[in-house]
Amino acid sequence: MKIFVGSDHRGFQLKKKVDGELQALGHEVVDVGTDTEDTACDYPLIAYKVATAMRHVPGGRGILLCMTGIGHSIAANKIPGVYAALVYNKEAAALSRQHNDSNVLVLGSKFVDEPAMMEIIKIWLSTAFEGGRHLRRKEQIQNIEKEFSK
């Protein structure tokens, strides 16, 4: 799977570890930045890069890392067709895929420790969308997107 990964300066160290672990699992990783933890950067630009890039790759996914994940999730969800889920545990990761078909995972290092983070990522990557009544709800969200993209 092709996965676009990005972080702000607060998630930089974690991003390097996540990139390596994803590659070890056989995924194609595209790191969109930031490239340093020494200089503050603007998270909306990173969220935009991940969200727009993964949108153009069928089956592609995105992962965003920062301190809380809140800003990244708000910014990424502004892009039509992007369903970014801010997740703090394994159950939420599974449900974000099963019920919401999330395609961008957002993690905050302040609330999720590093070992749990990789477990969350593995669960999120391996969980399928259930469809059924959840598909109807996803379609309702897509209709809202269409209304505001006119």
59 touches 28 (CB < 8 A): no
Active site residue 66: yes
d(CA 125, CA 127): 6
Active site residue 9: no
Q: Which of 9, 41, 72, 99 is catalytic?
A: 99
Distances 133 to 120, 137, 139, 140 between C-alpha atoms, Å: 25, 7, 10, 11
Residues 6 or more apart in contact with residue 146 via CB below 8 angstroms? 80
Structure tokens of 14? Answer: 């974690």
Q: Which of 9, 41, 66, 72 is catalytic?
A: 66
As annotated, the active-site residues are: 66, 99
